[in-house]
Amino acid sequence: MKACKNCRLIFEDAPKCPQCNSEELTDKFNSAVYVFDPAKSKIGEKMGVKTPGKYAVRVGK
């Protein structure tokens, strides 16, 4: 599993993020949150999430 350093989306191994197309990926991330409805999610709002998915709370450098 990889996490995007830009948008924090967690996804299966791929050469770039399927959401924002960033190639800055890491396998070092701490904790994850699932955002099902970004419009109603306080955590999703605070993280700037616009689409449903699994997101890393913190990503490594």
Domain map of the chain by residue range? 2-59
pTM of the model: 0.88
Residue pLDDT, tens place only, 9-59: 999 989 999 999 999 999 999 899 999 999 999 999 999 999 999 999 999
CATH entry 2.130.10.10 includes domain 2-59: no
Q: Residue 31 is which amino acid?
A: S
User: Side by side, which strands form the sheet with 10-11?
Assistant: 10-11, 2-4, 25-26
